[in-house]
Chains A and B, each alone.
Chain A
């Protein structure tokens, strides 16, 4: 059974029925509008990439956390280093002030650079899983960049992360434990979520 977490522009789908005993046990699809960042398309149907759901959401929240603190020395150092890595990976970055590379904790699925300017989020991606798609609308669309406003991105990440933590984390954790996994630290992720939310309110509070 696929469950869907949906913001204004971000969509995440997770299959709760299939479990593979690896560090990436669940099938997950990640889309922004029609851009398929994680997952594949075969004969007109989407298929998930194997991912660690906790790690996936932690990565999205980390991107927001960094976008909201562009002046922090740690963020600046990460940015400097990841900008070089992005160039090595063949992405032409622009005027971004924060650059954060992540695997999204998905199996060999792709390369992702989450970037931000003052007001924008740009995600440069190469979705390896989509490279050999037979869906005409996705041919040649495995590599690209998607742009949205910074506020929009963070609001969507907060919305879907909250929904994940409230509704699906307990279900996913139960499946993991049944397969003999160690429990994940959800207190940490909750706390981290609230930290990002606080930073968001500080920056955008007066506008919303």
Chain B
């Protein structure tokens, strides 16, 4: 959402893909809904019929017919709890607007950008 963050003492402007939290939420709802409607992705929730317990899937937005500039792949992690799949977390994994930083703490080297 175009936040500014500080990396190694420098301010960075993250890419803006969504205008606000509501737009982001609508996007995520859409991704989850279409993933569940897609028979290929739905299979990844099960092993030969039995639900997976703790698992993650990588969803290709193109396959779901979702077009968002800068995001190509979204990762969803689920747990099967009390008879239901519960979405634990979701984040973009691939795309031109997807920046990943890792904090390398052991030697206080700061943040390193990936991808």
Q: Does A11 touch B at the CB level, under 8 Å?
A: no
A62:B114 contact, CB within 8 angstroms: no
Question: Which A residues between 41 and 73 are near B, CB-CB below 8 angstroms?
Answer: 42-43, 45, 47, 52, 54-55, 58-59, 62, 65-66, 69, 72
The number of A-B residue pairs with CB atoms under 8 Å apart is 86
Q: Is A81 part of the binding interface, using a Cβ–Cβ cutoff of 8 Å?
A: yes
Cα separation A55 to B78 with both chains bound (whole Å)? 10
Q: Is the interface of B mostly helix, strand, loop or mixed?
A: strand
Residues of B within 8 A of A22 (CB): 89
User: Which residues in A have their C-beta under 8 angstroms from that of B81?
Assistant: 182
The distance in angstroms between the C-alpha atoms of A43 and B106, with both chains bound, is 10
Residues of A within 8 A of B (CB-CB), count: 39
Partner of B52, one of A62, A77, A81: A62
Min distance, Cβ A128 to any Cβ of chain B, angstroms:
6
Given contacts A43-B106, A85-B60, contact A74 B48 (CB under 8 A): yes
Is the CB of B75 closer than 8 A to any CB of chain A?
yes
A207 at the interface (CB under 8 A from B): no
Q: How large is the interface on B (under 10, 10 to 19, 20 to 34, 35 or more residues)?
A: 20 to 34
B89 with A23: CB separation less than 8 A: yes
Interface residue B27 (Cβ < 8 Å from any Cβ of A): no
Q: Which residues of B contact A101 (CB under 8 A)?
A: 44, 57-58
Known contacts A42-B104, A129-B102, A132-B114; is-contact A78 B44 (Cβ 8 Å)? yes
Known: A103-B75, A108-B100. A81 touches B91 (CB 8 A): no
Query: Which of A59, A105, A111, A182 neighbours the largest number of chain B CB atoms within 10 Å of its CB?
Result: A105
Least CB distance, A35 to chain B, in whole angstroms? 20
- Verify A54–B107 contact, CB threshold 8 A: no
A62, B47: Cβ atoms closer than 8 Å? yes
- Tell me if A102 counts as interface (CB < 8 A to partner B): yes
A111 — nearest CB in chain B belongs to which residue?
B58
Chain A residues whose C-beta falls within 8 Å of the C-beta of B114 in the assembled complex: 128, 131-132
Instruction: Kindly identify which residue among B53, B80, B93, B112 contacts A132, using a CB–CB cutoff of 8 Å.
Output: B112
A184 proximal to B (CB < 8 A): yes
Residues of A within 8 A of B (CB): 22-23, 42-43, 45, 47, 52, 54-55, 58-59, 62, 65-66, 69, 72, 74-75, 77-78, 81, 85, 88, 101-105, 108, 111, 128-129, 131-132, 182, 184-185, 188-189
Q: List 21 A-B contacts (CB under 8 A).
A: A23-B88, A42-B106, A42-B109, A54-B53, A55-B53, A65-B48, A74-B46, A74-B48, A74-B49, A85-B58, A101-B58, A102-B55, A103-B56, A105-B55, A108-B100, A111-B58, A131-B114, A132-B102, A132-B112, A132-B114, A182-B81
